[in-house]
Structure 1
Amino acid sequence: MPKLTSAIDLGSAAFSQNKAFMEALIAEFRGYEAKVRENSESKRGKFEKRGQLLPRDRVSLLLDRGAPFMEIATLAGLKMHDDDGKKNVAGGGSIAGIGYVAGKRCLVTATDSAIKGGSVSPMGLKKSLRLQEIARKQKLPIVALAESAGANLLYQSELFVEGGRTFANQARMSAAGIPQITVVHGSSTAGGAYMPGLSDYTVVVRGKTKIFLAGPPLLKAATGEIATDEELGGAELHYNIAGTAEYMAEDDAHGIETAREIVDHLPWSAPVEAEAGTQPFYDIEELMGIVPEDAKKPYDIREIIARITDGSDFLDFKREFGASTVCGHARVDGHAVGILGNNGPIDPDGAVKAAQFIQLCCQSDTPLLFLMNTTGYLVGRDAETGGIVKHGSKMIQAVANATVPKVTIVVGGAWGAGNYGMCGRGFDPDFIFSWPTAKVGVMGPEQAATVMKIITEEKFAKMGQQIPDGMTDQMAQKIIDQMSPETTALYATARLWDDGIIDPRDTRRVVSLALSVCADGRKRQLNPTQFGVARG
């Protein structure tokens, strides 16, 4: 393949300015992630007094030492509900991602019981549903470390109905042949009791586990019956009498080791990795200075491609046809991939080119990598007469029906229908991550303000009335002030419009791991049954 030639001037003032801008954005989202960890860490003394490990320590003990771990949705729910973005930052109330347990790739999730007792918020529920979707689609065993106070009752109206979907997913994954292993480290009450009940393998911890549909206060209120935690749902009861648990552990560490042994004994093959590819010709650190602080300034998406692909090689497809839409073949860490990127809006030729390229990748079973930075589909008289609706629909058809793995990295603009054509969240990419420079919305705040200003002016003109002085300017500024924070990467990741924000320098590693997970999942043969596994 031909090696890309970079035009970036590493010694320029523009590069330094871009780099400083990116470093500030990275520091911002890393700062929020640090607040999640600090929030949890503040309860260490309480956990140690109870003879328990903190949830993050449980995850560390579960994962194979030194193996990669791709964390998912680290800032779910940021500044939403009771996450204030300051001291009480919860990360969706769980630590979750894809890692290795006993040499086998698994989806690992742990409720962060050090934050509000592990109670489930609306976005925490949405995060759980996304994790289940990943496990189902990629055929990954699930290892869950549970300790939760259950649903946050302050938001029960946003939790109850959709919460049932998590149970249905568990039942269906068991029937599909996807193993689910749960270690119950503490309380798992009410709806949370069904999580271990619907798991295929359940480990309880002596003297710590509590599994019941109704705790002592609710039981007394409902029936007048008086019982202790242990009598209602202690580890001994579930291991010796009720039969809910298959394994008894003496403490947190023993429970986690038991989970590792279960995974080790499953006839679940280790992932087959592609041969490691050659490193990019250009330094990956240079990704820090490519994206301008001013989103209106153009740059060549090939500059990013050159720093994530093996040997910086890239075989351009129809380079001069629909030139603002970039398509081509490459490899990322040994994985063959078809790349689609943007150097501007998607015009009719670019849409047709992208649709053809996607179909060719499906024909050759080549995964797709979308590097999204677009203002959307081109508008105007020429675009409309050139068939932008028709040709844009071809591209959307191809993206929606593509049969190969799809991985999306939102590096910049994700505006309008361009978000759809470049495989945004609504088009079910296998994985979608954002750079901190990502901007997501139906249109930019300034464009929205201008549109509303024009509509208002036309409305008053039709009525034959004079617009009050300053009215449209004030309205426009109000729209900009409202929409600007709603288009940021942080706003998007809080709502799980992506699977997390990443440092640009991690792009190659994240894409490689995502492609490996997808390849492994599509090769794996499961042993489905009509119903999930039920206990005797």
Structure 2
Amino acid sequence: MYVDCEPFVSANTRLANLESLTPTLLELSTDFAQKSSFHEFSYYGDFWCSLLGIPEYQELARMAMTYLVRMPTTYLAEKGFSNLVDIKTKKRNQLQDVDSLMRGALESEIKPRFEKIEEAALVPVQRPHSARHSCFIKCWPVGVTGVAVNSDHHKAVLRVIAECDPCLGGEHWVRSLWGWPGVGGWWPHTRPFPLLRDTLDPTCPQLEAGKRRAEEQIAKLHQLNKLCLAGGGEKGIALHVKKNRKMLPRDKLKHILDPDSDFLELSLLAGLGMEYGDVPAAGSITGIGRIHGTYCLVSSSDGTVKSGTFFPITVTKNLRAMAISGTNHLPLVHIVDSAGGFLPKQAELFADKNHGGRAFYTEAVLSAAGVPQIAAVCGSCTAGGAYQPAMCEDVVIVSGIGTIFLGGPPLVKAATGEVISAEELGGGLLHSRTSGVTDYLAETEQEAFEVVRDVVATLGIEPVPESSPLQDDTWDTALLDAVSGLESISRQQLYGIIGRIVDGARFREFKQLYGSNLVTGYAMIEGKCVGVLGNAGPLTYQDGLKGSHFLQLCQQRQLPLVFLQNSGSKEAYDSAWLGEAQEEQHLRLRGRAAMVAALACVTVPKIAINVGGCHADDNYTMCGPAFSPNFIFSWPGTTVTHTLNPPPAAQPSQPTQAPGKEDRKKKSMSMFSFPEDSALYHAAQVLNDGIIVPSHTRQVVSQCLRICRQKEGITNSAKDFSVLRL
């Protein structure tokens, strides 16, 4: 490793810092000199020369030359240290003039060298006696700074300097080393990949207009988020807390998750705009947070929204949460408090493959796959909902408020005439003592959540290490908000988006000259390498082949994939399609088919962000919902269309007729009406995992990647069956 200093630090400041650590350096140097051969010590000598060889460091330079005398004579001669050669060739009793010789060496040999270095600013120095000892030194006019680190001793010296010298910490220099002390080339950065050029100009009129549109979109998003975060509103909250004496759903999360845990909420806008009325957050809260350092997916019924009633959209949201749990191997914690299904829509709740019954199937499959299923019963579990905790591996129930039964007291009375209380029929004591459906009986909700935390602590899942701090994120991420308001995002502007998502705006593009509308390449996010794919318009034949090639490389190297969907405006997309000849369309189909096939077989984590629209088969090539992304989010204002039919040629407009009775749709009970191609509609229908503020994209992507990495540390193997309660 090579470290350089900032050029604006004064020499006096540097001298004071170096003088303060002289004793430590001398101690390390002496120890090194006693244990090393001359060749190894000559390698270390250049460190001293580079560190101390300017006029302000004369006293320290004398110390350095005391050690230089011990180097091989041939090395000193070839380096031009004639005074030091004289010192070395004299016998000990002839060294009365050693001080004058050292002064001469300082003035005539060391100082001129560094004056030349000051002019060149960057000087490679090659060892004369061995190519294995090649060194690289970087100097600034006020001092040096090239330190070659090839041993624990060198690293110790470097640590001392770094701790005491505030000048260090800027750009780093690294070299490739094979063995001790190593051969190979040197590389001018400690981190790989070249620095991107920022292609987003904040003074651009387009960005100014885009910023105004984006502010409106983000303000609307915040309003909708606020509505969904409020759950059932004041009335529902009062009923839940005062009458039922239960804890608010979001307060439950605070008791279950670690105090310092991040929380990635999923499908917050689900349930808005439904024909049967608005159901804020679909009547449930799903998200990912840490419990004892382990990422878990928590799914909690929201009892403030119509007493936790299950609607068709609630089922859809819960199934998506379970899919995310299975894909990322996240323990699933169910917090159950539901009044059962919404009877007017019961045909859409349990009948079909992807309706409510699928949740019970998925619980068993996930358990068999080694994904833990844990339930806390904090309210009613009625009818089909009774299976939810019964299918879990560990269940805790709260005494007095938790109940599990297929038919409640009113149904029992209607069928048999027997009058029985809910607690007697299916309360915590009965299921913990008699039926065995529950494993732990808690007196309070707080105690139940402590039990859940203790169960997670027994899973033996290695927590994901804390992420390293963000590195050199000097680009203004707020510009992403303005970009989201543009009607279309060009390929050049796409680089500006990538630079604001990856570490240090560093990106190595793959096949840059091949394919015109697809950007592929490698980057680091929180110090981990990922593959990035972003399109700027419809993919061409060459784009499809490039994408297929790149996906296979990332699969082979086990690199997570980040997709930036950017088809552009629907009008421009259709225009490009219509402008192609039939042969070109056939070629494009072949190229895209290759990319689709590669993507379908990829098993590495996939994170998709819709930044500029996604149309037609870009939903396949760029990892839309059908290709099971681990996570998929959208920026506000984006659109999605799924038709694969070529757009029709323009036709003369026909007069419209008033719709007949058969054309009139049933009036919606919702206060919202989102266009079907909008991001808001897709979020409400759980066709994506949520809408994010563009300037938060890096944080969301980083969080998703950390969550995906937890799977790497899981050692429990899959079983033939789930955990059965016998």
TM-score by length of 1: 0.89
Q: Report the equivalent of 1:80.
A: 274
Partner Cα distance (2:257, 2:304) in 1: 20
Partner Cα distance (1:175, 1:357) in 2: 34
Q: Report the equivalent of 1:22.
A: 214
Which stretch shows the higher mean deviation, 308-317 or 255-264?
A: 255-264
Please, which of 666, 691, 705 is the counterpart of residue 515 of structure 1? 705
Contact 2:510 2:521 in 1 (8 A): yes
Q: How does 1:219-238 map to 2 (within 5 A)?
A: 219-238=412-431
CA deviation map 1:113-133 (0-9, x unaligned): 110111111111011111111
Contact 1:333 1:508 in 2 (8 A): no
Q: Report the equivalent of 2:247.
A: 53
Alpha-carbon offset, residue 490 of structure 1: 0.3
Q: Report the equivalent of 1:203.
A: 396
Q: Report the equivalent of 1:364.
A: 557
Q: How does 1:100-115 map to 2 (within 5 A)?
A: 100-115=290-305
Partner Cα distance (2:255, 2:293) in 1: 14
Aligned pair count reads 510
Matched, 1:348 2:534: no
AA at the equivalent of 2:630: D
Q: Report the equivalent of 1:465.
A: none
Alpha-carbon offset, residue 335 of structure 1: 2.1
Partner Cα distance (1:370, 1:233) in 2: 48
AA at the equivalent of 1:427: F
AA at the equivalent of 1:432: I
Q: Report the equivalent of 1:4.
A: 196
Q: Report the equivalent of 2:336.
A: 146
Matched, 1:326 2:519: yes
Q: Report the equivalent of 2:655.
A: 471
Q: Report the equivalent of 2:587.
A: 387
Question: Quick one: structure 1 residues 213 and 385, their matched pair in 2 at CA, closer, same or farther if it must change by over 3 Å?
Answer: closer
CA deviation map 1:237-281 (0-9, x unaligned): 112222221111112222112211221233222124564551433
Q: How does 1:424-463 map to 2 (within 5 A)?
A: 424-442=624-642, 451=648, 454=651
CA deviation map 1:57-101 (0-9, x unaligned): 1112211112111011111122114333xxxx4211111111001
Secondary structure of residue in 2 paired with 1:487: coil
Partner Cα distance (1:364, 1:492) in 2: 33
Which stretch shows the higher mean deviation, 248-257 or 216-225?
A: 216-225
AA at the equivalent of 1:40: G
Matched, 1:406 2:606: yes
Alpha-carbon offset, residue 145 of structure 1: 1.1
Question: Quick one: structure 1 residues 484 and 491, their matched pair in 2 at CA, closer, same or farther if it must change by over 3 Å?
Answer: closer
For structure 1, list consecutive stretches of 5 or more residues without a partner in the other structure: 458-468
Please, which of 246, 259, 263 is the counterpart of residue 69 of structure 1? 263
Contact 1:239 1:246 in 2 (8 A): yes
Q: Report the equivalent of 2:226.
A: 34
Which stretch shows the higher mean deviation, 183-192 or 59-68?
A: 59-68
Alpha-carbon offset, residue 108 of structure 1: 0.7
Alpha-carbon offset, residue 315 of structure 1: 0.7
Q: Report the equivalent of 2:682.
A: 492
Contact 2:471 2:504 in 1 (8 A): yes
Q: Report the equivalent of 1:118.
A: 308
Give the aligned CA root-mean-square deviation in angstroms.
Answer: 2.6
Q: Report the equivalent of 1:463.
A: none
Q: Report the equivalent of 1:132.
A: 322
Partner Cα distance (1:57, 1:327) in 2: 43
Partner Cα distance (1:359, 1:487) in 2: 31
Partner Cα distance (2:641, 2:533) in 1: 20
Secondary structure of residue in 1 paired with 2:334: strand
Contact 1:291 1:299 in 2 (8 A): no
Which stretch shows the higher mean deviation, 515-524 or 413-422?
A: 515-524
Question: Quick one: structure 1 residues 317 and 527, their matched pair in 2 at CA, closer, same or farther if it must change by over 3 Å?
Answer: closer
Contact 2:485 2:637 in 1 (8 A): no
Question: Quick one: structure 1 residues 217 and 498, their matched pair in 2 at CA, closer, same or farther if it must change by over 3 Å?
Answer: same
Q: Report the equivalent of 2:619.
A: 419
Question: Quick one: structure 1 residues 279 and 190, their matched pair in 2 at CA, closer, same or farther if it must change by over 3 Å?
Answer: farther
Alpha-carbon offset, residue 472 of structure 1: 7.9
Give % identity: 37
Alpha-carbon offset, residue 139 of structure 1: 1.2
Alpha-carbon offset, residue 453 of structure 1: 5.1
Partner Cα distance (2:623, 2:231) in 1: 35
Contact 1:137 1:521 in 2 (8 A): no
Partner Cα distance (2:641, 2:306) in 1: 32
Please, which of 532, 536, 544 is the counterpart of residue 339 of structure 1? 532
Question: Quick one: structure 1 residues 385 and 17, their matched pair in 2 at CA, closer, same or farther if it must change by over 3 Å?
Answer: closer
Please, which of 368, 381, 398 is the counterpart of residue 188 of structure 1? 381
Which stretch shows the higher mean deviation, 319-328 or 279-288?
A: 279-288
AA at the equivalent of 1:351: G
Partner Cα distance (1:47, 1:119) in 2: 13
AA at the equivalent of 2:266: I
Contact 2:484 2:635 in 1 (8 A): no
Secondary structure of residue in 1 paired with 2:681: helix
Contact 2:200 2:493 in 1 (8 A): no
Question: Quick one: structure 1 residues 245 and 215, their matched pair in 2 at CA, closer, same or farther if it must change by over 3 Å?
Answer: same
Partner Cα distance (1:215, 1:528) in 2: 37
Secondary structure of residue in 2 paired with 1:257: helix
Alpha-carbon offset, residue 443 of structure 1: 5.7
AA at the equivalent of 1:230: E
Alpha-carbon offset, residue 523 of structure 1: 4.2
Please, which of 288, 293, 311 is the counterpart of residue 98 of structure 1? 288
Q: Report the equivalent of 1:218.
A: 411
Secondary structure of residue in 2 paired with 1:290: helix
Which stretch shows the higher mean deviation, 169-178 or 417-426?
A: 169-178
**Structure number with higher relative contact order (C-alpha < 8 Å, ≥ 6 residues apart):** 1
Contact 2:273 2:674 in 1 (8 A): no
Contact 2:231 2:281 in 1 (8 A): no
Partner Cα distance (1:371, 1:19) in 2: 20
Secondary structure of residue in 1 paired with 2:407: coil
Contact 2:206 2:486 in 1 (8 A): no
Partner Cα distance (1:242, 1:470) in 2: 69
Contact 1:290 1:303 in 2 (8 A): no
Question: Quick one: structure 1 residues 444 and 397, their matched pair in 2 at CA, closer, same or farther if it must change by over 3 Å?
Answer: closer
For structure 2, list consecutive stretches of 5 or more residues without a partner in the other structure: 1-192, 664-672
Secondary structure of residue in 1 paired with 2:277: coil
Secondary structure of residue in 2 paired with 1:412: coil
Contact 2:530 2:561 in 1 (8 A): yes
AA at the equivalent of 2:603: T
Contact 1:16 1:289 in 2 (8 A): yes
Question: Quick one: structure 1 residues 521 and 301, their matched pair in 2 at CA, closer, same or farther if it must change by over 3 Å?
Answer: same
Secondary structure of residue in 1 paired with 2:613: strand
Question: Quick one: structure 1 residues 207 and 4, their matched pair in 2 at CA, closer, same or farther if it must change by over 3 Å?
Answer: same
Secondary structure of residue in 2 paired with 1:173: helix
Partner Cα distance (2:473, 2:291) in 1: 30
AA at the equivalent of 1:11: T
